[in-house]
Structure 1
Amino acid sequence: MRVFVTGASGWIGSATVDELLREGHSVIGLARSDASKAKLEAKGATALAGDLDDLDSLRRGASEADAVIHLANKHDWGNPAESDRAERAAVETMAEALVGTGKPFVLANGLSGLVQGRAALETDESPEFGPDAPRGGSENLALEYADRGVRTVIARFAPSVHGVGDWGFVTFLADAARRRGVSGYIGDGSTEWAAVHRSDAARLLRLGMEHAPAGFRMHVVAEEAITTREIAEALGIALNLPVTSIAPADAGEHFGFVAGFFGLTMSASSEITRAELPWSPTGPTLVEDIKAGAYSGE
């Protein structure tokens, strides 16, 4: 297949491009800069200049491809409304270009806010509808196109997609630990996160694109539940820092913006995903990655 990938030079996207090329697909990668263009072309991919606000480029990329994997997001933590607006416009533009084609449209989303008090399941519907919802309600918007001849596949990512070079949530936790001189967890540290290694995530994205039916929600989850205390303890070992509990009232000051996520339970099952697709994670666990130095800054 000729696959259009947004976020192609990002943390997950670059691994996904490698996975697709390795398995014989060709790739058109959205490139925001000359540096991104050069990286993509060095791998053997085709670069398409543009970003999430360049709707003409998104429309062209989707129209010229046999499949779309949408991984880009502005992640503007200072202006989430702008990120949500751009995400919805991008999803609508690419999905409209695919109407009636039967082509796969794999859309990335997170597990944050999906459910509380238990592990999220693939059968759980997203509560986020409409342009004012987080991510512009893009998951439910994309699923509407499953009835219009688009093979929409939702990829819900664990809060930690880990590995050497990660710049996600665990990196922010490690930075806070170094800055404060202690590796902290909130309260009793019983809050749980799901996790997946970057290589396993890339492989599942490819498999979902190739095989998942229209309207399928797949959970990009290798480990269902790791307590935040276990994460903090692993960081303490890796960074040679003491480990301590942080009172919920002090979490914002201690951790920064990531406190809002570190205090949420974001555990999830991938049982249905593994039953539907030939995917079995093989990468290291999150704790193994942390202890091996993936977040030590070395």
Structure 2
Amino acid sequence: MRVFVTGASGWIGSAAVDELLARGHEVVGAARSDASAARLERQGATVRRTDLDDLDGLRAGALEADAVIHLANKHDWSNPAESARAERAAVETFTAALAGSGKPFLLAAGVAGLAQGRPSTEADRTDARGPQAPRGGTENLALDAVPQVASVSLRFAPTVHGEGDHGFIAEIARAARERGFAGYIGDGTNEWAAVHRSDAGRAVALGLDGAPAGTALHVVAERGVSTRSIAEAIGRGLGVPVRSVAAEDAERAFGWISRFWGLDMRAESADTHRLLGWTPTGPTLRDDLEAGRYTR
């Protein structure tokens, strides 16, 4: 298939592009910079110069492809409303372009907020709806469009880890360097699901080939790792003390990441493993932490 991928040069996207190409797909990657375009060309992908604000470019990419995988997001934590607006507009553009075509549409989502007091499952549905919701409510927007649009939700673990990660765990490690201690909120028993980047990229490609319309996939290898154990590993790696931070002091200690660091984001993924025949083989989050991936 000819697959149009947004976020193709990003952390997860670049791993997914390698997997898609290895499975014989032709990849057209969205790129907004010369550096991103060059990286995609080195991987063997075709480049379309566009970004999330270029709705005409996104529409054309979808119409010219056999499938769309939407992984891009502005991730502007200083202006989450703008990130949500751009995400909503992009997904509205894709669903309109793909309606009635039967072309697969896979979009990035997450496991946060799906369940309270238990690990979330693939059967859970988010309450996030409408333009003002997190991610612009796009998971429900896409799944509600089935069967007119062959939508599949890719719910990634909150940490997609590995060498070179600049996401949430890297931000926690950065805060520890700056403040001289590695912290967790409260008793640190809240847990985060995790998946290695290589396994995430493979799951995306398998999802394109094997997930029916309307499916929510949990791209999760470990159902949960406690935030206290993560902080302890960062503390060992940096040689700094580890301490609990009260909820009311969390923003001062961790910055914007505090709004997520205190959440419990456990997730099951057995149904996804069975459906896709996906068995994660990459390092665990603990492996990457103990190897110094975030503290060198």
Determine the C-alpha separation between the residues in 1 that align with 2:254 and 2:169. Answer: 11
Count of residues in correspondence between the two structures: 296
Deviation, 1:144, is 2.2
Sequence identity (%) = 62
1:151 aligns with 150
Determine the C-alpha separation between the residues in 1 that align with 2:159 and 2:137. Answer: 22
One-letter amino acid of the structure 2 residue matched with residue 34 of structure 1:
D
2:246 aligns with 247
Deviation, 1:145, is 2.2
- Give unmatched runs, 5+ long, in structure 1: none
Determine the C-alpha separation between the residues in 2 that align with 1:116 and 1:158. Answer: 16
One-letter amino acid of the structure 1 residue matched with residue 23 of structure 2:
E
Deviation, 1:105, is 0.5
2:28 aligns with 28
**Does 2:104 correspond to 1:119?**
no
Measured on the aligned residues, the alpha-carbon RMSD in Å equals: 1.0
**Does 2:55 correspond to 1:48?**
no
1:13 aligns with 13
2:237 aligns with 238
Deviation, 1:159, is 0.5
Determine the C-alpha separation between the residues in 2 that align with 1:102 and 1:12. Answer: 25
User: Partner of 1:28: helix, strand, or coil?
Assistant: strand
TM-score normalised by length of structure 2: 0.98
- Give unmatched runs, 5+ long, in structure 2: none
Structure 1 range deviating more: 44-53 or 93-102: 93-102
Deviation, 1:206, is 0.5
Q: Which runs of 4+ in 1 moved over 4 A?
A: none
Determine the C-alpha separation between the residues in 2 that align with 1:93 and 1:240. Answer: 49
Determine the C-alpha separation between the residues in 1 that align with 2:168 and 2:77. Answer: 13
2:99 aligns with 99
Determine the C-alpha separation between the residues in 2 that align with 1:246 and 1:137. Answer: 31
User: Partner of 1:76: helix, strand, or coil?
Assistant: coil
Deviation, 1:131, is 1.4
One-letter amino acid of the structure 2 residue matched with residue 113 of structure 1:
G
1:210 aligns with 209
Deviation, 1:79, is 1.4
Deviation, 1:203, is 0.4
Determine the C-alpha separation between the residues in 2 that align with 1:147 and 1:25. Answer: 24
